[in-house]
């Protein structure tokens, strides 16, 4: 049965404040359909955000929601999950919020393997807060803080999450929205920390500074530069030059943090702790 995304939105909060052509709405639609696919009710899900374009999803998505401080969504989410482990906790963050200001929190949340699903919407820039470059801005790109091009190499946030201990990691783009929905669905079902990077277009903050002024041009760039990890296995380094991988990168099991923490409490209480 078709999903009516509007049924999961606070329509009285419309219109939203995203710029024309922004890809955040495409990512949000994939998240809503994934939640519907898994079968969660509104009361079983909480969506937590930080600050930035991605955080505006909080205003219109009709689940339990709250917005936190810049870069700290995962820390608030960790506290909430420890208090209400039966709920499905979803964090929606951006490349500036999640990988820049909140990068340290991301690393340690991966390491703990707490059962939180994080959707990191990567539009390659701090879009809402001034157009500064982020840790995921491609090297050589222009931003308000890099008028002659950034000289810093960018993170591969999926490899960073894998190295820090995340037990589910995947990446898709706004163009590959069906894959994005599939990855988020699997991430929601996964027990442990899961991260899905959604590469989206920001034609106003990023595109117009980098010779991609229209959403169509940016979606075309995603189509032409993304390679599925399965197809990449049969390609040479020369063929993969300038490309990035999409698909499922990590799917493994490991002890989940809230269950370990509850066992610690029970063991301590059995020894007389109050």
| Mean pLDDT over the full length of the chain | 96
Q: What is the pLDDT of residues 183-241, one digit of tens each?
A: 999 999 999 999 999 999 999 999 999 999 899 999 999 999 999 999 999 999 999 99
Bridge partners, 251 (sequence order): 168
pLDDT at 272 over 70: yes
Task: Classify strands 244-251 and 168-173 as parallel, antiparallel or unpaired.
Answer: antiparallel
- Would you say how long the chain is, in residues? 274
Over residues 128-154, the mean pLDDT reads: 95
Q: What is the pLDDT of residue 111?
A: 97
Q: What is the pLDDT of residues 22-73, one digit of tens each?
A: 999 999 999 999 999 999 999 999 999 999 999 999 999 999 999 999 999 9
d(CA 200, CA 205): 12
Q: What is the pLDDT of residue 142?
A: 97
pLDDT at 157 over 70: yes
- Name the pLDDT band for 85 (thresholds 50, 70, 90): very high
Bridge partners, 48 (sequence order): 66, 91
Nearest to 138 by CA among 123, 127, 118, 117: 123
pLDDT at 1 over 70: no
Domain count across the chain: 1
pLDDT at 115 over 80: yes
Q: What is the pLDDT of residues 3-29, one digit of tens each?
A: 889 999 999 999 998 999 999 999 999
Nearest to 96 by CA among 59, 57, 127: 127
Q: pTM of the prediction?
A: 0.96
CATH number at residue 85: 3.40.50.970
Q: What is the pLDDT of residue 3?
A: 85
In the DSSP assignment, the letter for residue 240 is: H
For residue 147, the enclosing domain spans 5-271
Q: What is the pLDDT of residues 160-180, one digit of tens each?
A: 999 999 999 999 999 999 999
């Amino acid at each position: 049965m078709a999903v009516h995304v509007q049924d999961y939105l606070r329509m009285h909060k419309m219109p939203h404040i995203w710029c024309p052509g922004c890809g955040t709405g495409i990512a949000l639609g994939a998240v809503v359909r994934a939640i519907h696919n898994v079968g969660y009710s509104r009361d079983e899900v909480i969506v937590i955000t930080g600050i930035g374009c991605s955080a505006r999803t909080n205003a219109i998505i009709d689940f339990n929601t709250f917005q936190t401080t810049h870069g700290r969504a995962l820390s608030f989410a960790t506290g909430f999950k420890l208090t209400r482990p039966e709920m499905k906790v979803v964090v929606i963050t951006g490349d500036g919020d999640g990988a820049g200001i909140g990068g340290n929190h991301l690393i340690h949340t991966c390491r703990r393997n707490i059962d939180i699903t994080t959707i990191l919407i990567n539009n390659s820039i701090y879009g809402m807060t001034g157009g500064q470059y982020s840790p995921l801005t491609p090297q050589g790109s222009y931003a308000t803080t890099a008028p002659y091009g950034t000289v810093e190499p960018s993170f591969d946030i999926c490899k960073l999450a894998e190295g820090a201990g995340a037990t589910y990691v995947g990446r898709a783009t706004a163009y590959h929205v069906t894959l994005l929905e599939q990855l988020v669905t699997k991430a929601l079902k996964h027990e442990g920390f899961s991260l899905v990077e959604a590469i989206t277009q920001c034609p106003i903050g990023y595109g117009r500074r980098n010779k991609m002024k229209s959403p169509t041009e940016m979606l075309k760039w995603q189509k032409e530069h993304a390679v599925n990890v399965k197809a990449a296995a049969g390609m040479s380094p020369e063929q993969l030059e300038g490309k990035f991988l999409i698909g499922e990168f990590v799917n493994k099991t490991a002890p989940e943090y809230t269950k370990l923490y509850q066992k610690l409490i029970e063991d301590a209480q059995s020894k007389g702790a109050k």
